[in-house]
Amino acid sequence: MAKRDYNQTKRAEATEQSRRTILTAAQELFRVEGKFELPLDEVAKRAGCSERTVIRHFGSKEGLLAAAMADAEHGVVESRQARAGDVAGSIQRLVGHYEEDGDTVLRWLSLGDRYPLVRKVTESGARLHEDWVEEVFGSDLEALGTGKRRVRKAVLTSLTDVHVWGLLRRRQGLGRRAAEAAILDLVEHVRSRP
């Protein structure tokens, strides 16, 4: 019986590894090479498997896209690790995420009108960012009335948006630490207002 359990465990591990390799290949084609139509033959080739294997794992091209997006979102949430009340630490992790993926995100935002899949990804990213703002600044926002809360959340969401990072880093030429400090200063100024 132990041999059978061992074989089933090995098979499950191999299946998960194959799935992970396919997801990585899809994300690389989409994110790095800008293949927004995500051709299954190229995903399979990059993953070292057949198109049939891709379909067996994900059911369809749409299933692969959904799984790749969900996996990428999970990675974004992990890299940002918002912590309620830890504003400086949360902004440090947010800027770290932007340093890694910010240029790609800015490029995608500029292409959203041309590619429905890209728009879907960027809209999902915007929702994730709003959730991040709620997590980090929730206690600040709770104390405000509805109208003021809405405006304050909009301002904090905007100040911590990838566009502000892009302006500070790429247009103004600030280093990472200076950009991070500037974002934190802006945020703290807003938080200090009644």
Asked if the structure places residue 31 within a domain, the reply is yes
Query: Band of the pLDDT at 40, cuts 50, 70, 90?
Result: confident
Tens digits of per-residue pLDDT, 47-83?
Answer: 999 999 999 998 988 888 778 777 776 666 676 666 7
Q: Are residues 172 and 95 in the same domain?
A: yes
What lies within 8 Å, CB to CB, of 189 at 6+ separation is none
Structural domain count, the chain: 2
Q: Are residues 130 and 168 in the same domain?
A: yes
Can you give the pLDDT at residue 170? Answer: 97
Q: How far apart are CA 48 and CA 60, in angstroms?
A: 18
User: Among 71, 90, 121, where does a domain finish?
Assistant: 71
Q: Are residues 123 and 193 in the same domain?
A: yes
Asked if the structure places residue 76 within a domain, the reply is no
Asked if the structure places residue 174 within a domain, the reply is yes
Q: How far apart are CA 12 and CA 148, in angstroms?
A: 52
The three-state (H, E, C) secondary structure of the chain, written as one string: CHHHHHHHHHHHHHHHHHHHHHHHHHHHHHHHCCCCCCCHHHHHHHHCCCHHHHHHHHCCHHHHHHHHHHHHHHHHHHHHCCCCCCHHHHHHHHHHHHHHHHHHHHHHHHHCCCCHHHHHHHHHHHHHHHHHHHHHHHHHHHCCCHHHHHHHHHHHHHHCCHHHHHHHHHHCCCCHHHHHHHHHHHHHHHHCCC
Q: Are residues 143 and 186 in the same domain?
A: yes
Q: Are residues 114 and 51 in the same domain?
A: no
Q: Are residues 86 and 179 in the same domain?
A: yes
Asked if the structure places residue 156 within a domain, the reply is yes
State the residue range of the domain holding 114: 81-194
Residue located via tokens 């074989």: 7
In the chain, the percentage of residues whose pLDDT exceeds 90 is: 43
Q: What is the mean pLDDT of residues 153-170?
A: 97
User: Among 30, 46, 71, where does a domain finish?
Assistant: 71
Q: Are residues 38 and 96 in the same domain?
A: no
Specify the higher pLDDT residue, 168 or 112. 168
Q: Are residues 182 and 147 in the same domain?
A: yes
Can you give the pLDDT at residue 3? Answer: 58
Q: Are residues 51 and 134 in the same domain?
A: no
Asked if the structure places residue 3 within a domain, the reply is yes
Asked if the structure places residue 67 within a domain, the reply is yes
User: Among 71, 92, 126, where does a domain finish?
Assistant: 71
105 closest CA partner among 133, 131, 75, 85:
75
Q: What is the mean pLDDT of residues 143-149?
A: 90
- Give the CATH number for residue 2: 1.10.10.60
> Is 190's pLDDT higher than 90?
yes
Query: Among 80-94, 143-157, 172-186, whose mean pLDDT is lowest?
Result: 80-94
Tens digits of per-residue pLDDT, 163-178?
Answer: 999 999 999 999 999 9
Q: Are residues 91 and 47 in the same domain?
A: no
Q: Are residues 34 and 98 in the same domain?
A: no
Q: Are residues 46 and 90 in the same domain?
A: no
